[in-house]
Amino acid sequence: MRAFEDDIERVLISEEEIRSRVQEIGNKISKDYNEEHDVVAIGILKGASIFFADLVRAIKLPLMFDFMIVSSYGEASISSGEVNIKKELEFDVHGKDVILMEDIIDTGITMSCVRKIMSGRGANSVKLAALLDKPERRKVELDIDYLGFTTPDEFLVGYGLDYAERYRNLPYVGILKREIYE
């Protein structure tokens, strides 16, 4: 085992579990849309990069790719509905069917703001696909249209998720040892 894997308390969701769940979500999305839709898959970088890459390949529909980098101002975003857009989309989403792809929903603040921004720009529809959900930490109401797994309130890394920019390349979702971040 390489050194950085020693920082993992245990594997929460294995590579195989992720693979089959992502396939199921891709099948569901492929059924929910048709040729009338003009789908844009929007990956929220960097966390969703791996989930995005796997999920889009499981969707049997023509679609476009775009990416955003956003961070919320925390609690301040709840009332203002504002997030800090660090990388803007390339395309105008007006009239498009947007599928937002995110790694994990925690407080829900970030994605609830991004959803509102997409609707405000005149998207025809906005759906949210998230690999993971930590419902215990939710601060705002948020519908997740396509969800991979509900997780306990632990700090998770791997399959795109980081701690201090590390561990994103682990092929599974693991629980980070507390001693690493405490």
72 vs 157: CA distance, rounded Å: 20
Among 43, 47, 108, 148, binds Mg ion (CB under 5 A): 47
Classify residue 92 as exposed, middle or buried by CB count within 10 Å of its CB (0-12, 13-18, 19+). exposed
105 part of the interface to ligand IMP, by CB under 6 A: yes
Residue 106 interacts with which of ligand IMP, Mg ion, none, CB < 5 to 8 Å by class? ligand IMP
106 is catalytic: yes
- Give 101's Cβ-side CA count (13 Å radius): 27
Neighbouring C-beta atoms of residue 180, cutoff 10 Å: 16
103 vs 88: CA distance, rounded Å: 18
131 part of the interface to ligand IMP, by CB under 6 A: no
Least distance from ligand IMP to the Cβ atom of residue 110, Å: 3
- 97 or 106: CB nearest ligand IMP: 106
Q: Which of 54, 97, 103, 106 is catalytic?
A: 106
Among 18, 61, 98, 106, binds ligand IMP (CB under 6 A): 106
Residue 149 interacts with which of ligand IMP, Mg ion, none, CB < 5 to 8 Å by class? none
Contacts with Mg ion, residue ranges (CB under 5 A): 47
Catalytic residues: 106
